[in-house]
Amino acid sequence: MPLSCRVAIKALLLIVALGGVGTASAAGDPVRGKLISYTCLGCHGIENYKNVYPTYSVPRLVGQHPEYIVAALKAYARGERSHGTMHQQAASLSDQDMQDIAAYFSQPQLKPGQPPIGTAPAKVAQLCVACHGKDGVGITGDYPTLAGQYPDYLARALIEYRQGDRKNAVMPTFVAGLTAADITEIADYYAQQRPALGTVARRDSILAP
C-alpha cells in the first residue's frame, strides 16, 4: 500500500477517534458569519493581498471546507500555527464565532470529481492525492481544498509544516523529504486546478444579500 494511503487511513482513524471537527457546516450561521467577519476581510477580502513578512499571498477562503477553516482558526488560537496577527484574531473568537465565519466563507463549497488540469507530478501522486485528490478538493471536510489556491501560499504552508511552524499529526511525514523544487511543483500543480477557491470582495460582502 502506498505511503500516502497508509498515512491517510491513520489520519482518518484519528479523526474518527477524536470525534472530528465536522460540525461546522451544520452549526455555523453564514448570515451571522458575514456580519462578524469584517476584520477578516481586511486581508482575506482583497485579491492578491500579501502577508508582509515573510511575503506570501494571504489565502483564498471562498469554497474552502468549513470544518477545515474552524480547525485552522483553532490552531492559530492555540499557537499551533506561527502567525502573530492570526493568533490574536483567532484567540478573540468563540467557538460559535469560528463556526459562523467558516460557514460564511465556505459558500459555495467546491465539489470533487473534476478532471485534473495537467499531469500530476510524481510527488503529488505519491503523497497528496489520498487526502487532497488529483483535482485539489479535500476528500473530507478535515482536509483542505487546494484547487486554485495561491501557489506561493501553498508553498509557504508546506515549508511551515516542514519547519514545525505548523503543528500537525500527519503532514510532517509527507513534507520531510520534499526538496524546494518538489514544493514548487506541488504548489503550482494544485494552484491551476479548477473550479478554484475564491476571494470575497469586501464591499459586496458587507452589503445585505
Cα dihedral 149→200→64→105 (10° resolution): 160
Instruction: Give the right CATH number for 3-206 from 1.20.1270.30, 1.10.760.10, 3.40.50.300, 3.30.230.10.
Output: 1.10.760.10
Q: Which three cell numbers stand for residue 107?
A: 459558500
The DSSP symbol for 125 reads: I
Domain ranges of the chain: 3-206
Amino acid at 83: H
Q: Average pLDDT by consecutive 10-residue portion of the chain (209 residues)?
A: 48 40 63 96 96 96 98 98 97 98 96 94 97 96 97 98 95 96 98 96 52
pLDDT of residue 201: 75
Q: What is the pLDDT of residue 130?
A: 95
pLDDT of residue 203: 56
Q: One-letter amino acid identity for 137? A: V
- Alpha carbon 173 to chain centroid distance? 18
DSSP 8-state assignment for residue 63: T
Q: Say how many C-beta atoms besides its own lie within 10 A of residue 15's C-beta.
A: 19
Q: What's the distance, CA 28 to chain centroid?
A: 17
